[in-house]
Amino acid sequence: MRSFLPAVLLLTLAQLAAAATEWQPLYSRVDPSLQLAMEKRLKENPEWARLIRSKKMAIGLVDLSGKQPRFARVNGNQMMYAASLPKIAILLGAYVSFEDGSLAETDAVHADLADMIRVSSNSAATRLIDQVGMAKIQTVLKDPQFGFYDENRGGGLWVGKRYASDGPRVGDPLYNISHGATVTQVCRFFYLLAKGKLISPDRSAQMLDDLADPHLHHKFVSQVEERAPDAQMFRKSGTWKQWHADAIMVRGSQWRDYILVGLVESKNGERVLRQVLPAMEELIVPAEFAEGTSQL
């Protein structure tokens, strides 16, 4: 079985355990000033404003740099097709299955988990769906313990089809989307990992290890690599036709300590997401770093 190397992560198990003692749900972390600043900044761009009005763009931001996290979102509960981004739900389903003993924790399974996340392998994702069980993944997502699919909050994360041309399709209960997400629930996913609250501190650290070292250098990653090449990134993205999705947690490198999630339905979605990251960084950069942030 693969050995876990905590030295790979900036977040140690001790840090995750300490973070868990300061726990409050993300829903209670909405910051009015950050919310207003986000809405204003996004509306300044006519293309973004149009997409937001038509419910074809959603953005979520969690600033982790202060004593208390600050959360803001636009179209936060708008469920959208998210391509490969919901593979994080398969990741969670696998680790829940490790815990309950229904899935053997082998080197082969861990290799598939890493490939599914880092290079977005569809074949690895499909093998994992078949081993964990699609119904099991959906049960985990709807379980109040996790709450990643909540009909009272617009849905959320959903996996209803193998990442292959064959097999059954089970759309989500609200919108009949096969691979869906809301930015609020994806922000919660990364927030829970950052706080060591997803299953356990140990399992949270392992899932962060799978999300580290992204091998696809587009969308948000391209911007972080340019602006803060020493920052540590935990990331999952997705693209299919006009649907573009990205989720990243950036830690370290001066003031950068945040979660950013974007969902866009547009032929220009990849470009939109690349432009959104620096615009959202503008909202959280401290005054002393406000000049020349791309150099930090």
Beta-bridge mates of residue 237: 246
Q: pLDDT per residue over 253-292, tens digit each?
A: 678 999 999 999 999 999 999 999 999 999 999 877 776 5
Phi-psi region of 199 (alpha: psi -120 to 50; beta: other; left: phi over 0): left
Q: 100-117, pLDDT tens digit by residue?
A: 999 999 999 999 999 999
Average pLDDT over residues 9-15: 50
The overall average pLDDT reported for the chain is 91
pTM above 0.85, yes or no: yes
Residue 28 lies in a domain: yes
Position 13 scores a pLDDT of 53
Cβ atoms within 10 Å of 57's Cβ, excluding its own: 28
> Strand pairing partners for 250?
233, 258
- Cα angle: 168, vertex 169, 170; to 5 degrees: 120
Confidence band of 140 (pLDDT split at 50, 70, 90): very high
DSSP H helical ranges for the chain = 13-20, 32-43, 46-53, 87-100, 107-118, 122-132, 134-142, 183-194, 201-211, 219-227, 269-284
- Classify residue 111: in a domain, yes or no: yes
Which domain CATH number covers 162? 3.40.710.10
> Tens digit of pLDDT for each residue in 217-259?
889 999 999 989 989 999 999 999 999 999 999 997 678 999 9
User: How is residue 135 written in tokens?
Assistant: 């119904």
- Of 247, 267, 244, the C-alpha closest to 88 is 247
pLDDT tens for 143-168 read: 999 999 999 999 999 999 999 999 99
Rounded to the nearest 10 degrees, the angle between the axes of helix 87-100 and helix 107-118 is: 160
State yes or no: pLDDT of 294 exceeds 60: no
Q: What is the pLDDT of residue 1?
A: 45
pLDDT average, residue stretch 205-220: 92
Please identify which residue in the block is written with the tokens 């909202």.
283
CA 9/CA 249 separation, integer angstroms: 12
On the question of pLDDT at 3 being above 50, the answer is: no
Q: What is the pLDDT of residue 22?
A: 67
Under DSSP, is residue 144 helix (H, G, I), strand (E, B) or coil? coil
Residue 294, domain member (yes or no): no
Strands 243-251 and 257-265: antiparallel
1, part of any domain: no
Helix (H) or strand (E) run with residue 74 in it: strand 70-74
50-89: per-residue pLDDT in tens? 999 999 999 999 999 988 999 999 999 999 999 999 999 9
> Is 292 within a domain?
no
Q: What is the pLDDT of residue 7?
A: 39
Domain residues for the domain of 18 are 6-259+267-286
The whole-angstrom separation of Cα 141 and Cα 93 is 8
In a domain, 293, yes or no: no
Contact 70, 63 (CB under 8 A): yes
Show the tokens assigned to 3.
């050995």
Q: Which residues pair with 254 in a beta bridge?
A: none
Is residue 92 situated within a structural domain?
yes
Give dist(CA 135, CA 143) in Å, integer.
12
Query: Is the CB of residue 183 less than 8 Å from the CB of residue 58?
Result: yes
How many domains does the chain fold into? 1
**Alpha-carbon gap, residue 221 to 229, rounded angstroms:** 10
